Structure 1
Amino acid sequence: MAAILSILLVAALLLIVFLWRQKKRIFQDATEFQQHVQALHESLKQEQHDQRTHLEVLARLAKEHEFQQIVDYLHLLQNNDEDRASASAGGAIGAALAYVKTKGNEDNIRVNASIKADLSQTLLSPGKEMQLMVNIFSNALEGARLSKEYVSEPYIEIEVRKQFGIIIVDVSNSSAPIPIDVREQLFPKRHPTIKKRGLGTYLIQNAVKTAEGSLHFHVDDHTFHLAIRLPSVQSK
């Protein structure tokens, strides 16, 4: 009898352990599923936000009759979508850079680039990455175009690298003269270009803030230089 009771006790304990493990596994599965749904929800929210932002930019450009910049913006977005299909690293930079080089050739603007890092390890979402590069490169194109009557060789210089855990984005372009009062308002307020129209530099500032980075710029003779520093997040 004692042996039978021992066997029953062991069986009961094994059953309890089995049921506990099953319950734990179900709980873990449910938790992981909930996290997956939450991540998907956040991703969709971010995509919707990015789409609204792009539409707002295009609407503002149309209102201000900046038709060339509308063309630039749409082509940059299209290039990014095509680049995403290949799932290549640094898609936002690669897509935007390809278009800038094409337009540079068409407009006789020299474009030099050194890309040794990408934005995939920053806190930026893919949509924010594209938003940042679209606005930086579009403004550089506009600045170089407007500099043609002031410099003999319009140019854009682009360097992206990683140093001591920081993603560094340096972009310089030939520029028309920028009055001091306009310089003071370029990034703190919604005055997007040297004509106070066009693509929003405030979108650049917003993206940098989202990534917990820093932004600096200076004007030297007929050169506009933008320097952005973004902390790298290895676990992204």
Structure 2
Amino acid sequence: MSLIGRTAFVTGAGSGIGRATCQVLARDGANIIAADVNEANARKTIELIDKSESKNLSIAIDVSKSSNVKHVLDKVLETYKKPPSIIVNCAGITRDNFILKLSEENFQEVIDVNLKGTFLVLQAFANAIIEHQISPASIINIGSVSSKNGNMGQANYCASKAGVELLTKTAAKEFGKVGIRVNAVLPGFISTPMTAIVPEKVKAILLKQIPLARLGNPEEIAEVISFLASEKSSYINGASINVNGGMV
């Protein structure tokens, strides 16, 4: 899938799905802006790409703060003179606990990063894309299989990802007429730093729910993201694509 001549802005790019997305999009020809709350990790992602004669950038971002998102957008526009035509919202956190023990702070933190952060990046960059008349453009948001049926100990995470999915569908309706497609990818149980902390006995239970009987790889999510970023998916808009090994 050719993405030559296009620039992709990826949040949560310092590890897991975000890093794999940067690598796959770069492989397919895109210039990469790797954004992460940990800029050193984002810089490592760019080093791993090792793509000579291309304009790649690493940058620190706190997606939960509108002022910081605006600052990052300004820096991107200063560097590239136009906004990226591919936006991938991978930034996400967990603060797991059962509802009766879940603190207000931990609930709000997950909502602020996962849902509000996706909204702030989507809003700011879509505005810039429209102002600069960039077309075609594609925004891909990362949801979760957990948003469908819930998951014990993850009320905050599940609620945030359900919100991301409906935010995606709404944005697709609003932006379609200006040439911006917006879609969501809903990963299942993927081998990332986020899932590495899950106790082994819990992993064993989850594996029984996956017909393919294994965890997914970040690259398998990234391949779907690259497809949605490309014009091979030019009539896909407002979709939520499950990538979960058949997990229900």
User: Structures share a fold, TM > 0.5?
Assistant: no
Between Structure 1 and Structure 2, the one with more helix by share is 1
Please tell me the TM-score bracket, short chain as reference: under 0.3
Larger Rg: 1
Query: Which is bigger in relative contact order (C-alpha 8 A, separation at least 6)?
Result: 2
